[in-house]
Chains A and B, each alone.
Chain A
Amino acid sequence: MADQFDLIVLGSGPGGYVAAIRASQLGLKTAIVERENLGGICLNWGCIPTKALLRTSEIYHYMKQADKYGLSVEKPAFDLEKVIARSRGVAKQLNQGVTGLMKKNKVTVYFGDGKITGKGALSVAKDGKTTELAAKNIIIATGARARDLPFAKADGKRIWTYRTAMTPPEMPTNLLVIGSGAIGIEFASFYNDMGAKVTVVEMLDRILPVEDVEVSDFMLKALTKQGMDIRPSTGVQKITDTGKGISAEIKGADGKVATEEFSHVIVAVGIVPNTEDIGLEALGVKTERGHIVTDPTCKTNVEGIYAIGDVTGAPWLAHKASHEGIIAVEAIAGQHPHAMNKLNIPGCTYCHPQVASVGLTEAKAKEAGHSVKVGKFPFIGNGKAIALGEAEGFIKTVFDEKTGELLGAHMVGAEVTELIQGYTIGKTLETTEAELIETVFPHPTLSEMMHESVLSAYGRTIHF
């Protein structure tokens, strides 16, 4: 006899475990199935441990600049093992936190490989033993994994994915990063600050391609100034592990192919959804380019099967997964949750300087037929930024000229990942420029630039 639940969540990443907690709050008897660590990639191998690493590189960066602040530090140095150990410790702490949350919310946890075996039926295989579970509804939250290059499999020796890059066996001296999305740029920033020579190649004509073009341009200059070799419109055609290092055939923007040597390479060319071996085919769950197709309440084409997070498509962000988890559970519980509005999902990149954005870029807004008002305010005009010694960056806002709707906000500079939520709340509440202009922002803070950027869009900037 199968263990009976109201809801089974397959995968315990930020989508799955949040869904399980919400389900429990709504009185559903809930099980969660995890093949590895509670918390999934996000807090074990993604968002959180990388932030721990980047905190180290940030402090290291400041130590090297101590003189600028009137301090002296004798020969700043680091111990790579301790750096990694701290990051792993942070991940472990949060992993235990999720374990505690599951217990507190009376969510039954099954470790093993979950597979949907029929309508409302799921089996969990572990060490040759199989446990059968049954539930009216199942949420698939299996996430995604790093995409491999077609010509070189990441092996963890000299060809790394994010996982090795987070627990490097040695410090790279001459690092090649393939791909300039958030993951590629964050690792590039970390290893550059830690002293490696870093080269970033990007197939598209600009780095951080999902961001506003002004952000991409700014970051290209900023990272180049920090000593990185950033190459847009460039592709890697072949990688060979020579035993001593990596030999890479690189086709440059000019179309010429050259072979270059590196010590290590990080592959960050996107993700592949985890849809294999979980029983989708037999049930006829519809997928499109590998991603599970869902409706606005995260329901798949099969009754009783929902899917959330990375496995359902872009943006591949933990907070998108969590929010979809809530939507799916509330729909299952018979509530009427609002569909996810992807234009209200912020995105953050924790390089140095940081990048954060929400909504439409200026170009996308115009493409969508909006006539826009654009505001922009530079960090150099902000007292707090100057006091922090972080006067590089800007905040850009895009409004619909006719309605005053805030269409998008794009920021680059210190701590902008903590600022973006202000605009996200504004967008979710559907504020227009009028409410943002009337809002009192505290002085002295970086957030004043958010105000100034809005004022700028309407020709009313005060401090620039």
Chain B
Amino acid sequence: MSIEIRMPALSPTMEEGTLAKWLVKPGDAVSSGDLLAEIETDKATMEFEAIDDGVVAQILVSEGTEGVKVGTPICILAEEGEDANAAPPAAEPAKPAAPAAKAAAPKPDPVPAKAAPAPAGAVPAAAAPAGDNRVKASPLARRLAAAQGVDLATVKGSGPNGRVIKADLGSAQPSAGTPAAAPEQAAPPKAPAPVAAQDVGIPHEAVKLSNMRKVIARRLTESKQTVPHIYLTVDVRLDALLKLRGELNASLEARGVKLSVNDLLIKALAVSLMQVPECNVQFAGDTLLKFSRADISVAVSLPAGLITPIVVDASAKGVAAISTEMKDLAERAKAGKLAPEEYQGGTASLSNMGMMGIKQFEAVINPPQAMIMAIGAGEKRPFVIDDSLQIATVMSATGSFDHRAIDGADGARLMSAFRDLVEKPLGMLA
């Protein structure tokens, strides 16, 4: 099954770009991470990496082409072992069933074949083989499907008697959608199989997904389907941190800096990751990457979704610097003006829903990272201090850990370090 590579969105605002240079040619074998092409946006020239293994079958957009819209197919990757040149001939009848090799691959069930819902009264062509297995499709649709690596049996045809026509393929998301396109190894599936638009029978509006929404869908599905999460929750007293914040803000006022609780938590997470380096890691198939720097991705909510700008080397930065940097990143994130390197990467994430009154939650790990800290609301709670019931400002923090890379005990040590830093905040300033 071939994989269609589409023009990537290399920045949140990118709508189109120039295909500056191809770094591969038809026949080249590429593996995940290899550079495919140089792509020029209005801001910069960036390298575009392969995320799949395969052989370049066909270049669809030639070098120097300007104004290539994001999402436009730019080349076709054939899977290894597949003849790169062997696009099935147009006349070949659609496969009645998945070939054995494909069937053996572990994969979620594809969208249930909704081939041509044979309407009552449809007269099967005399020569039609075995009735229902015949997929009705126009010659052009067959050819396009072959080129895109789409199984026609999974496409809902809008032509007469459910015939698949060109327009039906325009909306299919081949490389993103067909599970069969996923490599057999541990490589993550590309995206949830698109549930083809169906008559749901409920009044609704069908809104086309934005690129950001597609990325979110793909990454979160990848995370929940391939990363075994464990969740560890601690309650943390905030009183000392709030007091320190007040004191710091009073002295920082002259510099125009106002620390938020979140700024301090970024610092706390970074320092605790440095203290428990077993949690500052990344699972990478055969290897484990152990980072010697803590870069914290901070979830920033946008009207159209979410983005995670990164505070690089946050443990080494002063809280005032973190605060200033975070303010700038958040503003530019909301304006859609972050450069890719400002939101791609990071060694762990922080997601804070406290301001929305959420008591406690479990966040989805942001792959390929191995942990994310979910912060709940700081609230006054009855709290046992020195064996007596008192009132304290407490928040619940929950770490989600990639259990392939991080053992529960190490995760627990990180949570404990984090709690200690927040409860005795001078420790993180030292």
Contacts and interface: CB of A to CB of B under 8 A. Distances in A.
Interface of A: 338, 402-405, 429-432, 434-435
Interface stretch (B123-131, B133-141, B293-301): B133-141
Contact of A430 (B60, B91, B140): B140
A295 B144 CA distance: 27
Interface of B: 60, 90-91, 138-141, 143-144, 147, 158-159, 165-166
18 contacts: A338-B158, A402-B147, A403-B144, A403-B147, A404-B140, A404-B143, A429-B139, A430-B138, A430-B139, A430-B140, A430-B165, A431-B139, A432-B90, A432-B140, A432-B143, A434-B90, A434-B91, A434-B139
A338 B60 CA distance: 29
Contacts of B147: 402-403
Nearest to B72: A369
Contacts, number: 32
Contacts of B90: 404, 432, 434
B426 to A, nearest CB: 63
A403 B144 CA distance: 7
Nearest to B91: A434
Nearest to B61: A369
Contacts of B165: 430
Contacts of A435: 139
Contacts of A430: 138-141, 165-166
Contacts of B143: 403-404, 432
Contacts of B60: 402
Given A402-B60, A404-B143, 13 more contacts: A338-B158, A402-B147, A404-B90, A429-B138, A430-B141, A430-B166, A431-B138, A431-B140, A432-B90, A432-B140, A434-B90, A434-B91, A434-B139
A305 to B, nearest CB: 22
Contact of A405 (B91, B140, B159): B140
Contacts of A403: 140, 143-144, 147
B205 to A, nearest CB: 15
A25 B143 CA distance: 37
Nearest to B165: A430
Contacts of A402: 60, 147
A165 B27 CA distance: 65
A403 B142 CA distance: 10
Contacts of B144: 403
A458 B69 CA distance: 30
Contact of A432 (B139, B158, B159): B139
Q: Which 8 A-B pairs have the closest CB atoms?
A: A430-B138, A430-B140, A432-B139, A405-B140, A431-B139, A435-B139, A432-B140, A430-B166
Nearest to B141: A430
A429 B140 CA distance: 9
